Structures are given as structure tokens and as C-alpha cells.
């Protein structure tokens, strides 16, 4: 197995302290938003054999196993991350596989450079993702019931929000949510900024269920995404709990440290809370306008002590082992590629000692035994 050296992405929304604290190093004073573990060509992990993407490219069947290559092609299908949000991320959705393929092909035919700021589809893949909390972790996930959203908007006492509340009550769920989100994102920016300012002042005064939205507005003053966010469920995960985000589900992470895993894609359609491009017509084509309670996942324990976060896709499978001192050695050998990430204590993986935030890549079929006292997350695929 290969010890990984992992790049840290300094996105502006990142916490300056969460990842350094986990790693036991001094903060730099700059935001450290994500630590990437994988073979993404934009920021691959390093190994003693070279960048992980080049290691895999040189011998995909040896590194990934024939079953993984047959099912997903000659590349690692997932990207594992430590994600540390110190401020809200953009409100966003991801396409399903068919939508991603269609969107990518259309933009290729149109000759839009893949680096263009108004390009929506960087690749032809979908991007389901799972985030598991290591600390308390706040986020937004999926639409509220329209009646609940109407009451929340009305409670601010802002006159310009009343038409949205009326629509939410007057129409069937899908039509109501679509009409209101469309109106919010298409409104005159000056008028909407005034509405957001009024709503922010009211939210700050009211607190309680309005507190998360007041905080969002602090980071994104005047952004229409502040009002759009109020259509969504606010979720607070406890350590060990997780959220799965499927295609078309609007979401945003607000605050906290977690382990995130996703299919290897860069496709994001943004709804707001960002200075980046918002393509409203394409966004409305992708969003699933259906209300649902957030599905908070808790791991399902197997007899061997592995705790699995069950999801409906095959590009990744995330589980964890919480190892007590007396647990002995656990054999994690598998015919698929794996990344093992320690998040607490000291874990021995093969001949390598791992502390918090350290990880290894295990090629398919390579013997993988772990022991020690701590917590280790295991990322692999369903081949």
C-alpha cells in the first residue's frame, strides 16, 4: 500500500483551523477548505511511486482490479476528502448521469472552453456525494414542505416576500417550488438585494429557526440565494451521522468538519451564495422540485465491526472501523481499490502507522490489515 501526500485546497469558505487541528499542525492563517485524497487530475495525491493518477494510468488493472476497470473505466471512480466549512458553500445541485452526458456534449458542440467561467459541465459524469460529520456539521438539504416554507417566509414580516408565500400555498408542490425558486433567481437584483437586507435584519432579531439564514446573509449580503436557502431544510449532523446528496437535490454545507466522498466529477449547477456563474434555465432543468425530509444516515454495523453508510450508487462505498485497544488485527483485503483514512487515534495499516488526517491507497487485491486504537474510514467501490 502507498502512504498518500494529500493537497489542501484553500477555497475562501474554508476553516483556517479545523484541518490543521485534526492533523496536529499549526494553522497558516489561510483557509484550508478541503484535503483531497484520490487521483483527480486537478490535484492528485502523491505517493512514493509518483502522483496517484499517473500510478493508476500506468497499470489500471493492477491498481484498480479488472472488475473496477470493466465497470467504471481505467480511473479511480471516487474522490475522498476532508471538508472543513468555516462559511457557507454555494447553494448547488448536481446532474444525473444522463443530464451530465447531454450537457457536456452540448457544450462541447458549442465550442465552450472547459475552463470558461460560464461553462456548466466540465465532464460527462454525475456527482452523487456523501458527507459524514466528524464534528457537529450544519447544512441545507432538499426542499421544505411548501406550507412550512411559506410560514417561515411570512414570519419575517417582509412585505415583498408575501407573494412567494401565497404561491407556495396556492399551487401543487412541484409547481409551487418551481415558480418561487424561478422568481427569486430571476428577480431584479437591486430589488432583491433590498428584500434580502430587510429579511436579514428580521432574521437576526428573531433568531431560533432564522439564525442559520441570518448567518448565511452575513457572508453573502444581498444575495438572492439567502431567500432561496429558506426554501430548504436546515440539518445539523452529529459526529458519525451522514447525508447522501443525490442528483437534483439542492444543498449547501454551512459549517463543520466532515469526511466527504463523491463520484469523480466537477459538475455543479449553482443557485446562489456565490460570485460564480448561475445559469438559471439550466439549473431549473436539473433541480428536482419535490419536498422531502433530509435522510440522515447512521452506519449499519456488520458482524466484523465494519460500519457501512449505505447509498444507492456504486462509484463509492464508505464505511468506518472504530478500533478499541483489544480488537486485534482486521483484514480489509478486497478485490477493489481502497483509500484508508485515519480520523482519530493511531492506526497501523500494513506496515504504516497513521495518525489523524493521514491516509493510504491500497491497490486492488493488496493485503490490507489494520490494528491499533482509533477510527479509520474505508473508501472503495461496488464492482
* Distance, CA of 187 to CA of 141 (rounded, Å): 23
- Distance set, CA 358 to CA 19, 39, 81, 304 (Å): 11, 16, 11, 23
The answer to whether the beta carbons of residues 181 and 287 sit under 8 Å apart is: yes
Collapsing DSSP to helix, strand or coil, 184 comes out as helix
Catalytic residue among 151, 178, 236, 270: 270
Backbone angles phi, psi at 51, to 5 degrees: -55, 140
- Rounded CA-CA distance 161/299 in Å is 40
Q: Catalytic site residue 270?
A: yes
**Taking Cα atoms as reference points, which of 27, 1, 45, 3 lies closest to residue 354?**
3
DSSP string, 84-148: EESSPPPEEE---HHHHHHHHHHHHHTT--TT-TT---SSS----EEEEESS-EEEEEEEPPHHH
**Catalytic machinery residues:** 270
Amino acid at each position: 500500500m502507498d502512504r498518500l501526500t494529500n493537497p489542501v485546497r484553500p477555497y475562501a469558505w474554508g476553516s483556517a483551523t479545523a484541518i490543521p487541528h485534526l492533523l496536529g499542525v499549526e494553522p497558516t492563517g489561510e483557509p484550508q477548505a478541503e484535503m483531497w485524497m484520490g487521483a483527480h487530475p486537478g490535484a492528485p495525491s502523491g505517493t512514493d511511486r509518483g502522483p496517484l493518477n499517473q500510478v493508476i494510468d500506468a497499470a489500471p488493472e493492477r491498481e484498480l482490479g479488472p472488475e473496477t476497470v470493466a465497470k467504471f473505466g481505467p480511473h479511480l471512480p471516487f474522490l475522498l476528502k476532508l471538508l472543513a466549512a468555516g462559511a457557507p458553500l454555494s447553494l448547488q445541485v448536481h446532474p444525473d448521469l444522463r443530464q451530465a452526458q447531454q450537457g457536456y456534449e452540448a457544450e462541447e458542440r458549442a465550442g465552450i472552453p472547459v475552463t470558461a467561467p460560464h461553462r456548466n459541465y466540465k465532464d460527462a459524469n454525475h456527482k452523487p456525494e456523501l458527507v459524514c460529520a466528524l464534528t457537529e456539521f450544519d447544512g441545507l438539504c432538499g426542499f421544505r414542505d411548501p406550507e412550512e416554507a411559506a410560514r417561515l417566509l411570512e414570519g419575517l414580516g417582509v412585505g415583498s416576500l408575501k407573494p412567494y408565500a401565497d404561491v407556495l400555498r396556492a399551487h401543487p408542490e412541484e409547481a409551487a417550488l418551481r415558480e418561487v425558486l424561478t422568481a427569486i433567481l430571476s428577480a431584479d437584483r437591486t430589488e432583491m438585494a433590498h428584500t434580502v437586507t430587510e429579511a436579514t435584519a428580521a432574521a437576526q432579531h428573531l433568531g431560533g429557526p432564522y439564525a442559520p439564514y441570518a448567518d448565511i446573509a452575513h457572508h453573502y449580503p444581498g444575495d438572492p440565494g439567502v431567500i432561496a436557502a429558506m426554501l430548504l431544510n436546515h440539518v445539523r449532523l452529529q459526529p458519525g451521522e451522514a447525508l447522501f446528496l443525490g442528483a437534483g437535490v439542492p444543498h449547501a454545507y454551512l459549517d463543520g468538519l466532515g469526511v466527504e466522498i463523491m463520484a469523480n466529477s466537477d459538475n455543479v449547477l449553482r443557485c446562489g451564495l456565490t460570485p460564480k456563474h448561475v445559469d438559471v434555465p439550466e439549473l431549473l432543468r436539473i433541480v428536482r422540485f419535490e419536498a422531502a425530509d433530509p435522510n440522515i444516515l447512521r452506519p449499519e454495523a456488520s458482524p466484523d465491526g465494519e460500519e457501512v453508510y449505505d447509498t444507492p450508487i456504486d462509484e463509492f462505498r464508505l464505511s468506518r472501523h472504530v478500533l478499541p485497544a483489544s480488537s486485534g488485527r482486521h483484514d480489509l483485503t478486497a478485490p477493489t481499490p481502497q483509500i484508508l483514512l485515519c480520523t482519530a487515534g493511531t492506526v497501523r495499516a500494513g506496515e504504516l502507522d497513521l495518525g489523524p488526517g493521514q491516509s493510504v491507497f491500497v491497490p486492488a487485491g493488496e493485503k490490507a490489515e489494520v490494528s491499533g486504537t482509533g477510527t479509520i474510514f474505508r473508501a472503495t467501490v461496488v464492482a
